[in-house]
């Protein structure tokens, strides 16, 4: 059986994380966006223990295209928080994993201005130096627009500025190609997907629930959100079963 034939039945989770840190006690809402460093470490340990390889989006592309078979899980982190470098990078390196951090290029070195008022907290984002440290540590940087807007509400000119401009910004900071994209809020439609594809990204992820499978539209990939309240058995159910497909 060829890899392409066998991959028809193969699925894998694309995990979606945000902050790898303890949730602040005064956080008013969306504490689920935080996963503690200890929980993240246990989750990565379990993947390794079960024979899974944690991969960045680019490293997973041969599997998502059906060119390779393997026991993989894709690890993505949204927005570019400094705690990803501080708390996630050492764990990923310990287990020989790679991951993709999707960065809001217009807020590098600043904070989460798109939802800080709603959350009641300003969360530090990686600086250019920290982004390079993430990349130099073997990890990948993907694009998450310039300002984290709802893309379906953008004009055609705004849409191209957000999607293509973010790619250009990050490539200028890093000196490497940026080929992965993530839709803020999961907000996308055919027009948004077409611009993303034409801009030169190899794939894009959504917030649609479910496991990814070879043969899917690479610019509409579903993900599996991992939240603060998910204990290890709940993580295992999402990682190793079709639970997310049934809940999609």
Give the tens place of pLDDT for each residue, 161-199.
999 999 999 999 999 999 999 999 999 999 999 999 999
Cβ pair 45, 25 in contact under 8 A: no
User: What pLDDT was estimated at residue 25?
Assistant: 82
Residue 61 contacts by C-beta under 8 Å, 6 or more apart in sequence?
202, 203
Q: Note the pLDDT of residue 1.
A: 33
Mean pLDDT of 18-26: 91
Return the C-alpha torsion angle 108, 41, 239, 211, nearest 10.
Answer: 10
pLDDT digits (tens, 9 = 90+) for 194-230: 999 999 999 999 999 999 999 999 999 999 999 999 9
The range of the structural domain enclosing residue 35 comes to 3-247
| pTM across the whole model | 0.94
The number of domains in the chain is 1
pLDDT, averaged across the chain? 94
CA 86 to chain CA centroid, nearest Å: 17
Q: Which H or E run includes 236?
A: helix 232-240
Each residue's pLDDT tens digit, 35-60: 999 999 999 999 999 999 999 999 99
| CATH code: domain of residue 200 | 3.20.20.370
- pLDDT over 70 percentage in the chain: 96
Name the 3-class secondary structure at 141.
strand
Residue 239's Cβ-side half-sphere holds a number of Cα atoms within 13 Å equal to 27
Confidence (pLDDT) at 9: 53
Structure tokens at 25: 């006690």
pLDDT band at 6 (very low <50, low <70, confident <90, very high): very low
Please name which of 187, 114, 191 lies closest in space to residue 148, comparing C-alpha atoms: 114
pLDDT of 65 over the 60 cut: yes
Residue 30 reports pLDDT greater than 90: no
What is the tens place of the pLDDT at every residue in 130-147?
999 999 999 999 999 999
Task: Work out the burial of residue 99: count CB atoms within 10 Å of its CB; fewer than 13 is exposed, 13-18 middle, 19 or more buried.
Answer: buried
């Amino acid at each position: 059986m060829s890899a392409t034939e066998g991959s028809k039945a193969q699925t894998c989770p694309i995990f979606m994380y945000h902050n790898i840190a303890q949730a602040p006690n005064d956080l008013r809402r969306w504490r689920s966006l935080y996963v503690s460093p200890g929980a993240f470490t246990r989750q990565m340990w379990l993947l390794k223990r079960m024979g899974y390889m944690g991969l960045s989006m680019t490293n997973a592309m041969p599997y998502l295209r059906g060119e390779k078979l393997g026991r993989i899980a894709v690890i993505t982190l949204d927005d570019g928080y400094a705690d990803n470098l501080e708390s996630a990078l050492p764990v990923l390196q310990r287990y020989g994993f790679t991951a993709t951090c999707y960065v809001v290029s217009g807020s590098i070195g600043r904070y989460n201005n798109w939802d800080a008022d709603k959350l009641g907290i300003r969360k530090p984002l990686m600086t250019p130096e920290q982004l390079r440290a993430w990349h130099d540590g073997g990890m990948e940087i993907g694009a998450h627009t310039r300002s984290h807007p709802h893309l379906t509400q953008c004009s055609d000119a705004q849409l191209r500025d957000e999607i293509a401009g973010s790619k250009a910004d990050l490539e200028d900071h890093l000196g490497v190609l940026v080929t992965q994209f993530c839709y803020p809020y999961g907000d996308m439609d055919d027009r948004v997907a077409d611009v993303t594809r034409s801009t030169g990204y190899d794939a894009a992820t959504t917030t649609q629930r479910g496991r990814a499978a070879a043969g899917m539209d690479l610019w509409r990939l579903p993900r599996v959100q991992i939240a603060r309240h998910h204990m290890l058995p709940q993580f295992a159910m999402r990682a190793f079963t079709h639970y997310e497909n049934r809940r999609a």
